[in-house]
A and B are shown apart, each in its own frame.
Chain A
Amino acid sequence: MKNQILYTLQLSDNALIYGHRLSEWCGHGPILEQDIALTNISLDYLGQARSFYQHAANLFNALPQAEKQGMFLSVALEEKIKKGESIDEDDLAYLRDGWDFRNLLITEQPNGDWATTIARAFYFDTFNYLFYTQLKKSTDLQLAAVAEKSLKEVTYHKRWSAEWVIRLGDGTNESHVKMQTALNDLWPFTGEMFRMTDAEKDMAGNAGVDTAALYDLWLQEVAAVVDEATLKMPEGAWMQDGGKNGRHSEHLGYILAELQFIQRAYPGMEW
Chain B
Amino acid sequence: MPEQNSNKNEWPLWEVFIRSKAGLDHKHAGSLHAIDANMAIENARDVYTRRMEGVSIWVVESKYIHASDPDSSGALFDPANDKIYRHPTFYDLPDELTHM
Known: A36-B47, A40-B50. A31 touches B11 (CB 8 A): yes
Q: Interface size class for chain B?
A: 10 to 19
What's the minimum C-beta distance from A154 to chain B, rounded to whole angstroms?
Answer: 15
Stretch in B30-38, B76-84, B88-96 touching the partner? B30-38
Q: Is the CB of A37 within 8 A of B43?
A: yes
The answer to whether B11 and A37 touch across the interface, beta carbons within 8 angstroms, is: no
Judge whether B38 and A33 touch: CB under 8 Å: no
Interface of A is mostly: helix
Which size class do A's interface residues fall under? Answer: 10 to 19
Minimum C-beta distance from B52 to chain A (A): 13
Which of B38, B39, B46 has a CB less than 8 Å from the CB of A36?
A: B46
Question: B11 to A160, Cβ gap below 8 A?
Answer: no
Q: A31-B33, A33-B33, A33-B34 are in contact. Are A163 and B39 (CB under 8 A)?
A: yes
Q: Within 8 Å CB of B43, what residues of A?
A: 33-34, 36-37
CB proximity of A66 to chain B, nearest CB, Å: 46
Q: Which chain B residues lie closer than 8 Å to A37 at the CB level? A: 42-43, 46
Question: B32 contacts A33, CB within 8 Å?
Answer: yes
Q: Which residues of B contact A36 (CB under 8 A)?
A: 43, 46-47
Bound state CA distance, A163 and B38, in angstroms?
10
Which one of A33, A159, A163, A167 lies within 8 Å of B47 (CB-CB)?
A33
Q: How distant is the Cα of A40 from the Cα of B46 in the complex, in angstroms?
A: 7
Distance between Cα atoms of A36 and B34 in the complex (Å)? 13
Q: B50 and A160: CB pair below 8 A?
A: no
Question: In the complex, how many angstroms separate the beta carbon of A158 from the nearest chain B beta carbon?
Answer: 12
Q: Which residues of B contact A160 (CB under 8 A)?
A: 42
Chain A hits for B32, CB < 8 A: 33
Q: CA separation between A163 and B43, bound complex, in Å?
A: 13
Shortest beta-carbon distance, B51 to chain A, in Å? 12
Query: Contact mask B15-48 → A, CB, 8 Å, 1/0?
Result: 0000000000000000011110011001100110
Which B residues are CB-close (under 8 A) to A34?
A: 43
Shortest C-beta distance, B17 to chain A (Å), equals 17
Residues of A within 8 A of B38 (CB): 163
Residue of B11, B32, B43, B46 contacting most chain A CB atoms (<10 Å): B46
Which residues of A in the span 24-46 have a Cβ within 8 Å of any Cβ on B? Answer: 31-34, 36-37, 40
Report chain B residues within 8 Å CB of A32. Answer: 33
| CB proximity of B10 to chain A, nearest CB, Å | 10
Within 8 Å CB of B50, what residues of A?
40
A109–B33 CA distance with the chains assembled, in angstroms: 30
**Separation of A140 and B42 alpha carbons in the complex (Å):** 33
C-alpha gap A267/B39 in the complex (Å): 45
| Chain A residues engaging chain B, CB cutoff 8 angstroms | 31-34, 36-37, 40, 159-160, 163, 167
Residues of B within 8 A of A (CB): 11, 32-35, 38-39, 42-43, 46-47, 50
| For the complex of A and B, 3 pairs with smallest distance between CB atoms | A33-B43, A37-B46, A36-B46
- Cross-chain pairs A/B with CB under 8 angstroms, 12 sampled: A31-B11, A31-B33, A33-B34, A33-B43, A33-B46, A33-B47, A36-B43, A36-B46, A37-B43, A40-B46, A160-B42, A167-B35
Beyond A33-B46, A163-B38, 14 additional contacts (C-beta under 8 Å) are A31-B33, A32-B33, A33-B32, A33-B34, A33-B43, A33-B47, A34-B43, A36-B46, A36-B47, A37-B42, A37-B46, A40-B46, A40-B50, A163-B39
